[in-house]
Amino acid sequence: MPRLEGRTVLITGAARGQGEQEARLFAAEGARVVVADVLDDLGEALAKELTQTFGDDRVRYQHLDVSSEDDWAEAVQACTDAYGRLDGLVNNAGILRLNELVSTPLQEFLTVVRVNQVGCFLGMRAAAPLIEAAGGGTIVNTASYTAQAGMAMLTSYAATKGAILSMTRVAALELAPKGIRVNAICPGSVDTPMANPANVFVGDSGEPMMSAEDGAAIAAATAELYGRVIPLGRIGRADEIAKLALFLTSEDSSYITGQPVIVDGGWLAGVSID
C-alpha cells in the first residue's frame, strides 16, 4: 500500500525545487496534496499535471504567502474544504540571501526572517489544530545544515534555520500529547532554483541583479567547487530531500520526533585530506 494513502498534506514552496519534488512523491505515495506557493502559474501547472497523472482530485493549488496570517487561515481552510481534513504539513518555503554580516541591511535580514522563520511559525500554529482534529499526524520543517555549522555570507539565512530547529524541538514537546510528530530536515547544498544566484542577488525592488543564464552558470561552477569538499563528491538533488520528507511524514518514522535530520552528502562529517 502507498505510504501516504488517505492522508492530506499541505506543502509550502511547492511550485518548484524541493517542494515540487515533495508534491510529486507524496502524490505518488497516495497523499492528497495541497500545493502552496506564491508562484501561481508554476503551482497551478504542477497541480494540473499531477491531477491528470493520477486521474482524480488528489492535488490542488493554493496561493500562500507564508508570511501572511490571513493566507495561512485561507490555506488550511482550503484543505478542509477540499478534503475534509489535514494530516500533515511540510514547511518547505524559503529564500536565500548572501551578504556579509556588516553589509546586511536590516530590511534584507527581516525579509528572510519573515519568509523562513515567521512562515514556519505561522504554518505550525495554523496547521496543528487541524492535524490534531484528524487524529494526529506530522509536521516537517525545512531547516539547513547551516543551523548546525556556520557558513560565511549567510547570517540571515543561518539565523532563521537555527530558529527553525529550536521551534521544531519546542513544537515536538508540546504537540506529542496531541499525536503530532515534528521533525526538521537539514539539507546541505542542493541543486534548486532557490540557490541560483539570479534568485539570491536581488535589488531593493526584488528584481534579479543578473540574468537566469548567468545565475545558472555561477551555480554550476559553485556546485563543482562544493563537490570537491563534499565526501560524496557532489551537491544534493531535490528528489533526495523529498525522500527524507516522505520518510518523516510516513509511519516509517513513527518513533521519531523533535529531531534534526542532516542530509548533506557527508559535508558535516569532517574534512578529508587527500
**What average pLDDT is seen over the chain?**
94
Q: pLDDT-based confidence at 210, cuts 50/70/90?
A: confident
Q: Is the pLDDT of residue 7 over 70?
A: yes
Measure the CA–CA gap between 236 and 72, rounded to whole angstroms.
30
User: What pLDDT is attached to residue 227?
Assistant: 86
Residue with cell 544566484: 197
Reported pTM: 0.94
Q: Looking at the annotation, which residues are catalytic?
A: 157
181-207: per-residue pLDDT in tens? 999 999 999 999 888 777 777 776 667
Q: Residue 273 burial by CB count (10 A; 0-12/13-18/19+): exposed, middle or buried?
A: exposed
Q: pLDDT-based confidence at 94, cuts 50/70/90?
A: very high
Strands (E), the chain: 8-12, 32-37, 59-63, 88-91, 137-142, 180-187, 190-191, 236-237, 260-263
Q: Using DSSP, how many helices (H) and how many strands (E) does the chain show?
A: 9, 9
Q: CA neighbours within 13 Å on the CB side: how many for 47? A: 24
Measure the CA–CA gap between 60 and 174, rounded to whole angstroms.
30
Q: pLDDT-based confidence at 274, cuts 50/70/90?
A: low
Class of domain 8-264 as given by CATH? alpha beta
User: What pLDDT is attached to residue 200?
Assistant: 75
228-256: per-residue pLDDT in tens? 889 999 999 999 999 999 999 999 999 99
DSSP 237: E
Q: Residue 255 burial by CB count (10 A; 0-12/13-18/19+): exposed, middle or buried?
A: exposed
Tell me the mean pLDDT in the region 1-11: 96
Closest among 226, 222, 171 to 196, alpha carbons compared: 222
Return the C-alpha cell found at 125: 500554529
